Amino acid sequence: MSVLVLGGAGYIGSHAVYQLIDQGEKVVIVDNLETGHRDALHPKAAFYEGDIRNGDFLNSIFEKESIDAVIHFAANSLVGESMENPLKYFDNNVYGTQVLLQAMIEHNVKKIVFSSTAATYGEPESVPILETMPTIPTSTYGETKLTMEKLMKWTEQAHGIKYVSLRYFNVAGARETAEIGEDHQPETHLVPIILQTALGQRSHITIFGDDYNTPDGTCIRDYVHVEDLISAHLLALKYLRNGGKSNVFNLGSNKGFSVKEMIDEAKLVTGRDIPAKIGARRAGDPSILIASSEKAKQVLGWNPTQTSVTKIIKDAWNWHSTHPKGYRKEV
C-alpha cells in the first residue's frame, strides 16, 4: 500500500516524502507545481502532476494506485495573500479538500493526516497555546484551514474517515544533507529572508514593528525544525493505522524567539553581517505565538530532537548557501 502525499513537491511536503521513503513507505505524490518544484520530487516516488480540485484526476489516481492513507499539504498558505484574494483560498484550500474527501469516500480510504496551522487560533488569550483554546482566526488563511478541519470532522461522522490535524507553528530549517529546502516565490518567511540578506541578495531585512509588548519590542514566534515537524506526521500516520481516534495536535517547540533574536542568531551561524531596518507593523501579525506541544508528545510520542534555533538556522543556511537561487538552475 502507498501513502498519497498531496503537495509533495512543496517545502514541507517534500521533506515528508523523503522521510516516508527513508522509513520504507511507498509514496505517490500529487502536486500541481504551482508553488512546488519538480526538482524537489523524490526520485523513488510516483508523481502525478495535477490539481486536487479535479475530481476525475484524483479518482484516476485512487483507481491506479493502492492508497491506504493521505497526507494533505496541498494548500495555499500566505496570510497576506489570503487577505487580498480570499476566494482563491476558499477555492484551493476548502473546495480542494471537499473534492479530496469525496474521492476518499468513493475509494474507501479512511485515514488522513492534515497540515493545519497556528493561524486557526488567531490572537491567543494566553501562551503557550493549548489545542483546547478558542479558534478565532484573524486571516482568511486561518479561516480556511479551520474550515478544512471542520470538513474532516463532519465527514468522519458520516463516512468514518479518521483524521489527524497538525497545527504548525513557525516551520523552518531543511534536511541536513540539503538536497531539498525552502524556496518560495516570492519569499515572505522570516528565516529565508534573513539568510537571503546574509547572502547579499537583499540590502537589508525590514523588521515589521518594534513597538510590540515584548521584551525587545519585536514579535515572538515558536520555531520548529521541518524534520521534527515531519516526524510528527509519521507518528500520526502510525497512530491512525493503529486505530487512533481523530485528533488535533499543536506542533511547536514551546519556546519563543523574537525577530531581533533570530537575526542575531543568524549573524552568529553565518558569520555574516545582516543589516536590519525597522519598518511598520505587518497587518494581522499577533505579538506572541508559542505552542504547547505536550499533547503531541503524550499521545503520539513525539520527541523533537532539533529544537535549538541555532540548529534550525544552521540547516536552513546549509541549504541557502549551497542553493542561492533555490531550485532555479544556475546561469
# binding residues, ligand UFG (CB under 6 A): 21
Q: CB nearer to ligand UFG: give 170 or 247.
A: 170
Q: Does 138 bind ligand UFG (CB under 6 A)?
A: no
DSSP 1-56: -EEEEETTTSHHHHHHHHHHHHTT-EEEEEE--SSS-GGGS-TTSEEEE--TT-HH
Q: Distance between CA 228 and CA 293 in Å, rounded? A: 12
Given 18, 121, 141, 163, which residue is catalytic? 141
Cis peptide before 186 (omega within 30 of 0): yes
Q: Is 190 in the site for ligand UFG (CB under 6 A)?
A: yes
Residue 71 within binding range of ligand UFG, rule CB under 6 A: no
When asked if residue 117 is in the footprint of ligand UFG (CB under 6 A), the reply is: yes
Does 133 contact ligand UFG by CB under 6 A?
no
Q: Which of 60, 208, 217, 264 binds ligand UFG (CB under 6 A)?
A: 208
**Should residue 312 be labelled a site residue for ligand UFG when binding is judged by CB under 6 A?**
no
User: Per-residue x/- marks for ligand UFG, 76-115, CB under 6 A?
Assistant: -x-x------------------------------------
The continuous run of DSSP H or E covering 151 comes out as: helix 140-159
Cα–Cα distance, 273 to 270 (Å, whole number): 8
The answer to whether 299 contacts ligand UFG (rule: CB under 6 A) is no
**Contact between 188 and ligand UFG (CB under 6 A)?**
yes
Tell me the window of 201-209, 231-239, 305-313, 315-323 that interacts with ligand UFG (CB under 6 A): 201-209
- Smallest CA-to-CA distance from 142 within 164, 166, 163, 121 is with 121
- Retrieve residue 293's grid coordinates: 506541544
The grid cell for 311 is 540548529
Among 219, 226, 296, 309, the residue binding ligand UFG under the rule CB under 6 A is 219
Pick between residue 61 and residue 129 the one whose CB is nearest to ligand UFG.
Answer: 129
Among 103, 120, 104, 123, CA closest to 112: 104
Nearest residue (CB) to ligand UFG, 74 versus 118: 118
Residue 236 binding ligand UFG, by CB under 6 A:
no
Q: Which residue has the cell 488522513?
A: 112
> Minimal distance in Å, beta carbon 46 to ligand UFG?
28
Q: Which of residues 2-61 bind ligand UFG (CB under 6 A)?
A: none
* Residues 279-298 contacting ligand UFG, CB under 6 A: 282, 285, 289
Cell (9 digits) for 141: 488563511
Would you count residue 274 as binding ligand UFG (CB under 6 A)? no
221 interacts with ligand UFG by CB under 6 A = yes
Nearest to 148 by CA among 95, 198, 184, 194: 95
Active-site residue 141, yes or no?
yes
In Å, what is the CA distance from 31 to each residue of 13, 90, 182, 185? Answer: 10, 18, 16, 16
> Which residue of 32, 97, 170, 231 would you call a contact of ligand UFG, by CB under 6 A?
170
Per-residue cell: 148: 478544512
Return contacts of 91-96, CB within 8 angstroms, 24+ apart: 91/53, 92/53, 93/141, 93/144, 93/145, 93/147, 93/148, 94/144, 94/147, 94/148, 94/151, 95/53, 96/51, 96/52, 96/53
- Active site residue ranges: 141
> Where do contacts with ligand UFG occur on this chain (CB under 6 A)?
77, 79, 117-119, 169-170, 188-190, 193, 205-208, 219, 221, 259, 282, 285, 289
